[in-house]
Structure formats: C-alpha cells, structure tokens
Amino acid sequence: MTVLENTAASTTKRRVRWAGWLGFLTAVAFPVLVLIAGTQFSGYSHVGQKISELGGIEATSPWIQNTNFWMLGLGAIAIAWGLSQEHGRATFGAALVAAFGVLATWMNAIFPCDAGCAGQTPSGLAHNVTGASGFVAVTVAMFLLPRIWDGSDGWENVARFTRVIRPVTVAGFVWFIGTQALDAQAFSGIAQRVFAGSVVTWLAYLGWRLAHP
C-alpha cells in the first residue's frame, strides 16, 4: 500500500472507532434518560405505559425523551456506518440498523404519540407505524448480520451474542403486539421494554466492538 492508502485506511479505522463510541454511549444513555424522563411525568408507570408516552402530547417534559430518541438514532446510524466500513458485505444489514435509527427513533420524535399512543391522530398513527417498521428492520438485521460475522476474525462472539439476544427481541415484540391486540395493556410497558431493551443492549455491544477493533 502507498503512504496515501495507509493514511486513508488509518483515518477510516479511527472514524469507525469514534462511530462505535458514539453508538455505545447513546445506547447506554437511552435507559438512563428514560428513567429521568419518567420522574418528570406525574403518575407515569414504567410497567403499564409506553416509552414513547414520555415524549408524547401528555408528557410534561417531552423534550427529554425526544432528545433521547434523536441521540439513539444518531448512534444507530453511526453503528450502521461503522459496520459497512468494517464488513463490506454487511451493507444491507447495516442499512436495516440505520433504518431503525431513522424510523424507530427520529420519526418517533418528529411524530409524537397521542394519548396512550393509541394512534388515533395522524401524528400518533405515523408514530406507531414508523416505530413498528423500525423495530422490524432491526430484528431482520439481527438475523442477517451473524451470517456475515461467522468466520470473521474477532466477530464470532458478536454473532453468538446476537443469536442469544434476538429471541428475547422477538418474544418481547410479540408479547407487546399481543397486549395491544387483546387490549390487555396492564404490562405493555414491561413488554415494550423487553424488546426495546434487548435492541439497545445489542446496539451498545456493537458500538463497543467497533470501538475496540
């Protein structure tokens, strides 16, 4: 490699590490800010209410959770970019991670949910549709990316971790959808936190791995 090629490769590796740190830190900050936002919402229940309600029309300090959504979206996109640089063949899987960052976080901040996130208003409906689409995208990514990481030096553990955590994501998502379909929302907050928490944990791990090549 020429000096210029070496310099370019070194610069890219450094940027991938920074992208990893951004993804890791925003993922770690997400549950912390959810808890903080909950303290600013009188009567809020983490058991029965959805995370998005913290940034919805009924929230007293919606800017906290909406900022949290923007941060996580930025982190997810940074991770997606890092994966595309680290694994050229991971472009589609990485794009799905980026889609999660746009649909399930940025769009959720742009279109705040209505009362109870019932989807009865145009904004509330857009919130629910984009959020669900984003989580479907990242779940599909959990099935695609491990196939690329298998046999990739230093990424086998990431593939194994993904295969362990993705059933939690799927089960939590199905549980959450069930609480909505059956109108049994007493534990919908917990159900949502199961699948959302597993995704955020996965993103934190990916960010950490990119930051430590």
Q: What are the sequence ranges of the domains in the chain?
A: 3-211
pLDDT of residue 151: 81
Cβ count near 31 (within 10 Å): 17
Output the six-digit token pair for 95. Answer: 């794009």
Which residues touch 47 (CB under 8 Å, ≥6 apart)?
186, 187, 189, 190
- Answer whether residue 5 shows pLDDT above 90: no
Which residue is associated with the tokens 């940027």?
15
- Answer whether residue 24 shows pLDDT above 80: yes
In the chain, % of residues over pLDDT 90: 81
- Answer whether residue 10 shows pLDDT above 80: no
pLDDT of residue 136: 96
Mean pLDDT along residues 187-205: 96
Please compute, for residue 197, the number of CA atoms within 13 A of its CA located in the half-sphere on the CB side: 16
Q: What is the pTM of this model?
A: 0.93
Distance, CA of 38 to CA of 29 (rounded, Å): 14
Instruction: Identify the band that residue 67 occupies on the pLDDT scale cut at 50, 70 and 90.
Output: very high
